[in-house]
Amino acid sequence: MTPVERFRELLAIATVSRFDPADVDDEAFAAFHAALERLYPLVHSRLEREVVAGRSLLYRWAGTTDAAPLVLLAHQDVVPVEGQQWRHPPFSAEIVGEGADRTIHARGAIDDKGALVAIFEAVEQALADGVVPRTDIWLALGHDEETRGTGAQAMAALLAERGVRPALVLDEGGAVVEGAVPGVAAPTAMIGVAERGVATFDLVTREAGGHASTPPAMPATARLARAVDRLRRRPFPLRLAPPVRAMLATAAAHAAPPLGTVFRHGRVTAPLLTRALARVGPETNALVRTTAVVTRLEGAAGDNVLATVARAGVNVRLLTGDTLADVAIHLRRAVADPLVDIELRHGGEPSPVSPWRGEAWRRLSATVSATLGHDVVALPYLQLGASDSRFYTGLTDAVYRFAPFHLTRAERDALHAPNERIRVDVWLRGIRFYRALLES
């Protein structure tokens, strides 16, 4: 079989995450594990393998020295496809197009089986070529990154218990993109050096209830609607966090004037930069402020019943430097209504910031240049979404988030959406990146 054929077979296995563990298809994950073992025989005969937290997989490739190891993360699970209209069946892994436009359409093609299978291809090829790594290499494959991350938490705890202190941890995250930074024409490898915190707060209103035919002047649902609108009209303040400042400072040498000068002097130009980035679009706005958006609304159980409790779920993504306590204060001030309760359902603080200088950064950026193009500029950036990597920050400060795929805007927009896909040539180049990193 070819690498692409193996990739397609693994994409066809619907390892879908569900928030309720009882709804997860255990047979799909068992089939995925069996397929990995069959498709990558050298990995499974020469690396140590253990199952952690029921479905996560942890591999150790022993090195020749006791120097600090490399840890590569990926996740087996994918998000659901129900309610989405796909041009091609989401688990058929169909190849569409010709030549450089050949594209694999499948849920998980990018998020995150693209990286997972590319890693396994790189390791299998290296084993076949007789490579023995200088340091230990760990492969940690979580099973519920899209929901709770319990597999990653368990594997990180296990490594900590064993005293593993990696030189470098690499997870999914940024990609090679174009146009991500205003004024920079060169393709950029966006390497996440930090990620925002994630939390869910509930706005809750209560009343006595009763029949909908005789509503009060301010029912619980109306009070809640007013609170939701007040929150929308009072966004979090703008701020240039250290990872974003580093991204702009690094990009300055590649930006057309006068933007290069503006980026280079971010401490002085921060007010101008933050206002401009907030207006460019949703992604750049999320780089310069904590964001909050209502994603779920709950009211009465029936159409003719007044809600005794109305609830709005607020998804919050915390900018580096903000805390859950800061968020609670902002929500209270924005809502400005003592009859609206604000409750933290669950949440995590922003991750620590990994260095964008030093040996680990040089190792990554050199591998990018050698395998993805000498014209590709490695940029530190603040990852907007959450990943399993946040659970590994207690093991080392060198935790990075990057998948070695050159993605268009449309391809990035398809993550968690219909028509997720990756170009075949792009995916194959990703294998070369991981192979080079293993031997760096």
What is the SS3 string spanning the chain? Answer: CCHHHHHHHHHCCCCECCCCHHHCCHHHHHHHHHHHHHHCHHHHHHCEEEEECCCEEEEEECCCCCCCCEEEEEECCECCCCCCCCCCCCCCCEEECCHHHCEEECCCCCCCHHHHHHHHHHHHHHHHCCCCCCCCEEEEEECCCCCCCHHHHHHHHHHHHCCCCCCEEEEEEEEEECCCCCCECCCEEEEEEEECEEEEEEEEEECCCEECCCCCCCCHHHHHHHHHHHHHHCCCCCCCCHHHHHHHHHHHHHECCCHHHHHHCHHHHHHHHHHHHHHHCHHHHHHCCCEEEEEEEECCCCCCEECCEEEEEEEEEECCCCCHHHHHHHHHHHHCCCCCEEEEEEEECCCCCCCCCCHHHHHHHHHHHHHHCCCCEEEEEEECCCCHHHHHCCCCCCEEEEEEEECCHHHHHCCCCCCCEEEHHHHHHHHHHHHHHHCC
Give the model's confidence band at 182: pLDDT under 50 very low, under 70 low, under 90 confident, else very high: confident
Given this model, what pLDDT does residue 188 score?
97
Q: Is the pLDDT of residue 64 over 90?
A: yes
Say what the pLDDT of residue 305 is: 94
Report the percentage of the chain scoring pLDDT > 90: 93
How much is the average pLDDT of 4-16?
98
**With 90 as the cut, is the pLDDT of residue 103 above it?**
yes
pLDDT at 115: 98
Which residues are the active-site residues? Answer: 77, 145
Q: Among 82-91, 194-203, 261-270, 325-334, whose mean pLDDT is lowest?
A: 261-270
Question: Which residue in this structure is represented by tokens 């000498």?
Answer: 374
Query: What pLDDT was estimated at residue 234?
Result: 98
Q: pLDDT-based confidence at 281, cuts 50/70/90?
A: confident
Mean of all residue pLDDT scores within the chain: 96
pLDDT band at 8 (very low <50, low <70, confident <90, very high): very high
Which of 141-145, 233-237, 260-264 is least confident?
Answer: 260-264
Mean pLDDT over residues 316-328, rounded? Answer: 97
Confidence check: pLDDT of 385 > 90: no
> 128 pLDDT exceeds 90?
yes
pLDDT bucket at 428, cuts 50 / 70 / 90: very high
Residue 203 has pLDDT above 90, yes or no: yes
Confidence band, pLDDT 50/70/90 cuts, at residue 206: very high
User: Mean pLDDT, to the nearest integer, of 209-215?
Assistant: 91
- pLDDT confidence of residue 180: 86
Please report the pLDDT score of residue 59 as a whole number: 98
Residue 266 above 90 pLDDT? no
Find the mean pLDDT for residues 236-245. Answer: 96
pLDDT reported for residue 374: 94
- For residue 158, the model assigns a pLDDT of 98
